[in-house]
Amino acid sequence: MVTVSDSSNTPVVTVLSDRSALEPKFCEDAACVASASTAALRPDRLLLAFIALLLLWIAGVVWDALGVTNLPPAGGEQGDVVMRELLRGLPEEQRPEGWELETIDGKVVRNAFADQPEGIKAMSELYRDRGSFEYLIDSMSEGAAESFGGLLALEPDSVFRGIVAGSILPIRTLWSADRGFLVAFGSWGLLVLGLLGGAMCRSDAERLGNDREVPVMTSIRWALGDWRRLWGAGMLPPVMVLLLLTPIAVVLGLLSLIPAIDVVIAILWFAPLVLGFAAAIVLAAWVVGLPLIIPAAAMEAGDPGEITVRVATLLRRRPLRALLLGGTALVSGLLLWMVIALVVVFTLAGTSGALSAFVEPIAPIAQPTWPTLAMESPVSPMDADGVSIEWGATSQLSSAVIEWWNGVVILIARAWILGFMLLAAGRIYLCLRRAVEKLPFDDLGQSGPLG
């Protein structure tokens, strides 16, 4: 026989959940985001960032080598006049064909001035046309220099002007001058950052939330196994807009060729404007949320569409918090980069100075400048008669090899920037998710590298 106990005699236990841990103060989130600057110095994350930066650099160099150089020179828009005067000073047999009438490709100009003195060669480099990737890198370096100057001078407007000059303006110029590069390099960049950046962000999230260390190869294998979703999260919005608007644009373009139909299309133009407005909203949300979409794809289990909507919702619910956390990441990153750049300058200048402390065994070596680490052309020493010293073939080769090693060191240092940006974005996403959805850091939406 089944007996039913009296419910009044059953003890009732009430569990009170402390939600304060999921509602941290802003200073705690800011400290978490700022600590990404030192977390990016870990060897495993620095290695992933270095591989990603190397893959991006190789793709850009190959594009410039195979394409034409049609971007404005570093010396300004009036560089065409100066370049023609420099070409006029060359011996006639070294002048490129059609140099008086046509715009000369930057690679041809570089080859023409290869054997000229350093001063003339530097002038030609300043006023020759640049490739798309070279223009992008130079613009980012100039913007970074302006931001660093504004930070040192305590001028916030200069900091933000440098950010605009190093990101928005070159993209706008490339969209007009070389749209193919922007699309191809952007797609490749999203693939590289989606895989290696996603692996880095997931490893950092595992460390923050579960206190688990993820080996480098384990995180890479995990990212390669889920590459479609990681890449698709960043590619979905622009591809969706392209697939939506391209057929409509083709149909309207063909109908506009028919007399009288073009007038009807003009009268009903409000309909394409509505579609264009919807596409603009999607693209604007994608551009604003892209820094968070890459880490979000590595931490959540949804499809690319769900991830994009989730990031947009977090930014809409906590816009001021996202802005303040982004500013915290910017300031902490700039401050630590100045220290990193100082260490790199001391390292390279110190070793070169020790090598030539008493004698000059090799040709002068280009040295980086602080804080941008831009290479500064060496000044050729003079003999007692004021004539530049001629260096032998082995001396010049040794100088080139040492400069190559210096370039590797600088590339590793710059890889920290990429790693820091990804880790800071991942931590900002976790902080926004905790503030809006009350989810702790250890609540990661899908099986990670360690299961």
Sign of CA dihedral 357, 361, 362, 363: positive
**Which residues is 375 bridged to in the sheet?**
368
Q: Where are the domains of the chain?
A: 81-129
Q: How far apart are CA 220 and CA 41, in angstroms?
A: 18
Biggest CA-to-CA distance, the chain: 118
DSSP at 97: T
Both tokens assigned to 4: 């039913």
Q: How many C-beta neighbours within 10 Å does residue 426 have?
A: 29
Q: How many C-beta neighbours within 10 Å does residue 11 have?
A: 4
First to last CA, the chain: 47
Q: How far apart are CA 220 and CA 235, in angstroms?
A: 20
Each residue's pLDDT expressed in tens, for the chain with a length of 451 residues? 444 444 455 554 444 444 555 566 788 889 999 999 999 999 999 999 999 999 999 999 999 888 878 787 877 766 667 777 777 777 777 777 766 666 777 777 777 777 777 677 777 777 787 888 988 988 888 888 888 788 777 788 888 888 888 888 888 888 888 888 999 999 999 999 999 999 999 999 888 888 888 888 888 898 888 888 889 888 888 888 888 888 888 888 888 888 888 888 888 888 888 888 888 888 888 888 888 998 999 888 878 888 888 898 999 999 999 999 998 998 899 889 989 999 999 988 888 777 666 556 566 777 888 888 887 766 555 544 545 556 556 777 777 788 888 889 999 999 999 999 999 999 999 999 999 988 888 887 766 666 6
**Tokens 């892209």 belong to residue:** 290
| Each residue's pLDDT tens digit, 55-100 | 999 999 999 888 878 787 877 766 667 777 777 777 777 777 766 6
pLDDT at 154: 78
Q: With 0.85 as the threshold, say if the pTM is over it.
A: no
pLDDT at 323: 92
